[in-house]
A and B are shown apart, each in its own frame.
Chain A
Amino acid sequence: MSDEVTIPSVESVSGTGVAIRGNDIDTDQIIPARFMKVVTFDGLGEFAFFDQRFTDDDSQKEHPLNEPAHQDASVMVTNANFGCGSSREHAPQALMRWGIDAFIGESFAEIFAGNCLALGMPTLEADTETVETLQSWVEANPDGEIDIDVANETVTYDGKTVDVTVDDAQRKALVEGVWDTTALMKANAEAVRETAESLPYVEDGKRV
């Protein structure tokens, strides 16, 4: 039953990083549409950034996600407008299944960030310089540990702590463990019905 689902709070994320450079990286790149012909999200991880990672005859190209040193990375460091384009949740699902738990970037497309939140993955934002410095560090230190503190909006690495920002609603949802909105909203079923019936175009839960 929905009421019994416990939603873990996500106060912090720790792990090594991987840098994906470039602005406007769209979800068609993150997961090409041909891999969306599936009825479950299982197994999408191996197709993350597929066309950037593999040639036509499936041999590996140079790409951060192909590098052995980055195979255990759990923090993806990106630039501006990451995840733009299609609303496909397949994109964050693929990255999550590849192993990513959190994103630090200059900015994220809104639907992408919303989809990440629904999976309990924070999308933290920082200015260009902060992000680029972190990207370079991650590239030079693939086994370097990054500690994200969601509640306090900081990222610690290389012995220093930098400020990042998290959208208020996202922070609250993650830290308080209320990011699974299905359970949260299901509890208001009666109020939902009242709102519905107050609308001129709904009657008894049907369109009129």
Chain B
Amino acid sequence: MSEGTLYDKVWDRHTVTRLPTGQDQLFVGLHLIHEVTSPQAFGMLQERDLEVAYPDLTHATVDHIVPTSSKERPYTDDAAEEMMAELEANVRESGIEFSHPDTGEQGIVHVIGPEQGLTQPGTTIVCGDSHTSTHGAFGALAFGIGTSQIRDVLATGTIAMEKQKVRKIEVTGELGDSVEAKDIILEIIRRLGTEGGVGYVYEYAGEAIENLDMEGRMSICNMSIEGGARAGYINPDETTYEWLEGRDRVPEGEAFEERKKYWESVRSDDDAEYDDVVTIDASELEPVVTWGTTPGQGVGVTEPIPEPESLADDKVETARRAQKHMRVEPGETMEGYPIDVAFLGSCTNARLPDLRRAARLVKGRTVDPNVRAMVVPGSQQVKKAAEEEGLDEIFIEAGFDWRGAGCSMCLGMNEDQLEGDEACASSSNRNFVGRQGSKDGRTVLMNPRMVVAAAINGAVTDVRTMKEVTINE
């Protein structure tokens, strides 16, 4: 078993007791809720006549079903309106703070948590959403949970969990030009497999990780779940503390220095023991794109798509089916794969630095006339900040649709969906069949600059072949 890692330390600090099941009862420092997975849990609470135990440690937002074209109520989609109304009623009755669209603080739950300083190192965070792993970028233990567990947390402020093993993923070396955090995580999943992380939490470490900004770290931790790991984290450091200082809900002045001591104390010890260690050399990477229908089916943009038969036995059939669905041939590269839609958004890659990098590439270019391209900022605050820098104009001039904050085409629960067999260059995290709203739709995952490059050229493009323009920031 691991010892002396951040995971061990934060786990121990939050353990209430050992349950008769053998699981630990863990205190939850922050419970994030959204409209899709919480209403049933509130329903279960009412059935049992229970109240929310720690409303002040609970925070709500709305993201999956919100239209990104207009905030106007009632929503044109009755089902969406019902879910929103239900959430409004639940938070009102329970006294839970709500980043409602009217506050200007609404956004994807994994974007607004960090943005508002709710996400802090050394805390435990849960949400009824698998990408809660994102918050691990700050050195928090953050887990996605199911609705029955949401009920547990609402009713008791705790969760029953079994401790897992810790795998350290050491990413050494320096990233090449135009290779991003997203490429690191796609590569990790490709190498270790979509189920490689089952039973583990991932600790991302090494030079390449330390050099990333917080947004890049979030992109990596975000997709831990695609690698099968329930959680992923990065030890907090000066980059983390600088990012947090001055945000709402983060202690100020002396209290900040005091809190920082706690944050430092939970960092993994230099001689911490891990259950497994994997090393990846970042300098070898090129932009990674997926060719299939699981996030593990990735390939360097100039590398050939693998023959299914060359893969592990249990992957052959899935690969064959995926290649048929995607209409790709082994031996070809993904470079040149025609796309119909470009989606720059989601909790993986819709933060300000993602949009800035993409805008630098877009400036002075136009979207291919056959491509439907959209930018969906991760939160209202990201949107506002981007507009203050004039990024919206760059995108709009180039022919992108500039939309309101939400999950949007990441999962197609609102009106933003693929149609028929459209192929989409997407900065999101899942390329499962049907994920973007059409069961015949084809999703190609890639980093945000690769998405806009694909939008401009109408096909998957090696972004390293394109020049970018400097924008006055």
Query: Which B residues between 126 and 182 are near A, CB-CB below 8 angstroms?
Result: 128-130, 144-149, 151-152, 155-160, 162
A33 on interface, CB distance cutoff 8 Å: yes
* Contact B230 A195, beta carbon cutoff 8 Å: no
Q: How far is the CB of B200 from chain A (nearest CB, A)?
A: 10
Residues of the B chain whose Cβ atoms lie less than 8 Å from the Cβ of A198: 13
In the complex the two chains form, what is the Cα distance from A201 to B56 in whole Å?
12
- Residues from chain A with a CB closer than 8 A to the CB of B19 are 178, 181, 184-185
What B residues does A179 contact at CB under 8 A? 21
CA distance A38 to B259 in the complex (A): 41
With a cutoff of 8 Å between Cβ atoms, the chain B residues found around residue A107 in the complex are 195, 198
Q: CB distance B157 to A196 under 8 Å?
A: yes
Q: Mark B393-427, 1 if CB is under 8 A from A, else 0.
A: 00000000000000000011100000000000000
Task: List which B430-471 residues lie within 8 A (CB) of chain A.
Answer: 430, 432-435, 437, 439
B57 and A89 form a contact (CB under 8 A): no
Residues of B within 8 A of A23 (CB): 314-315, 317-318
Are B199 and A87 in contact, with the CB atoms below 8 A? no
The answer to whether B160 touches A184, judged by C-beta atoms less than 8 angstroms apart, is yes
**Stretch of A70-78, A113-121, A158-166 contacting B (4+ beta carbons < 8 Å):** A113-121
Which residues 18-59 of A sit at the B interface, judged by CB distance below 8 A?
Answer: 22-24, 26, 28-29, 32-34, 36-41, 51
Contact status A39-B430, CB under 8 Å: no
In residues 341-380 of chain B, which contact A (Cβ within 8 Å)?
none
Q: Which residue of B lies closest to A80 (CB)?
A: B314
Selected contact of A181 from candidates B80, B144, B160, CB within 8 Å = B160
Is A151 an interface residue when CB atoms closer than 8 A count as contact?
Answer: no
Within the assembled complex, what's the spacing in Å between the Cα atoms of A134 and B272? 44
Determine whether the beta carbon of A205 is less than 8 Å from that of B195.
Answer: no
Q: Which residues, 81 to 111 on A, are CB-close (under 8 Å) to B? A: 81, 84-90, 92-93, 107, 109-111
Q: Does any Cβ of A come within 8 Å of B202's Cβ? A: no
Nearest CB in chain B to that of A194: its residue: B16
**Shortest Cβ gap from B224 to chain A (Å):** 12
B1-9, B37-45, B99-107: which lies at the interface: B37-45
Residues facing A in B25-40 (CB within 8 A) are: 25, 27, 29-30, 36-37, 39-40
B413 and A109 form a contact (CB under 8 A): no
Size of the chain A interface, CB-CB below 8 angstroms: 67
B94 within 8 A of A: no
Of the listed stretches B46-54, B232-240, B301-309, name the one at the interface; the rest are far from the partner chain.
B46-54
User: Is the Cβ of B437 less than 8 Å from the Cβ of A34?
Assistant: yes
Given A28-B434, A206-B56: A192 in contact with B156 (beta carbons within 8 A): yes
List B235-260 residues whose CB lies under 8 Å from chain A.
249, 251, 258-259
Interface flag for B333 (CB, 8 Å): no
User: Most chain-B Cβ atoms within 10 A of its Cβ — which of A37, A80, A118?
Assistant: A37
Q: Does B214 contact A (CB under 8 A)?
A: no
- The answer to whether B16 touches A111, judged by C-beta atoms less than 8 angstroms apart, is no
Point out the residue from A2, A181, A205 that lies within 8 Å of B48, measured CB to CB: A2
Closest-by-CB residue of A relative to B24 is A169
Residues of B within 8 A of A24 (CB): 194-195, 294, 318
In the assembled complex, the Cα of A95 lies from the Cα of B122 at a distance in Å of 37
For the complex, is A173 an interface residue (Cβ under 8 Å from B)? yes
Bound CA–CA A86/B259 (angstroms): 34
Is A140's beta carbon under 8 Å from chain B?
Answer: no
Q: Is the CB of B130 within 8 A of A87?
A: yes
Q: Which of B43, B79, B80, B120 has a CB less than 8 Å from the CB of A201? A: B120
- Mask: chain A, 174-195; 1 = CB below 8 Å from B; 0 = not: 0010110110111011011001
Which chain B positions have C-beta within 8 A of A85?
A: 130, 430, 432
Supplied contacts A188-B16, A206-B56, 12 more A-B pairs, CB within 8 Å:
A40-B40, A51-B434, A81-B198, A81-B228, A87-B145, A88-B37, A176-B21, A181-B149, A186-B156, A195-B15, A195-B27, A200-B262
- Give 5 closest A-B pairs by Cβ, nearest first: A118-B148, A115-B146, A37-B79, A89-B147, A89-B146
Supply 22 A–B pairs (Cβ within 8 Å), ascending by A.
A2-B49, A23-B318, A28-B411, A28-B434, A33-B411, A34-B412, A37-B79, A41-B147, A87-B130, A87-B145, A89-B37, A89-B40, A176-B20, A181-B23, A181-B159, A182-B50, A195-B16, A200-B259, A200-B262, A201-B123, A202-B29, A206-B56
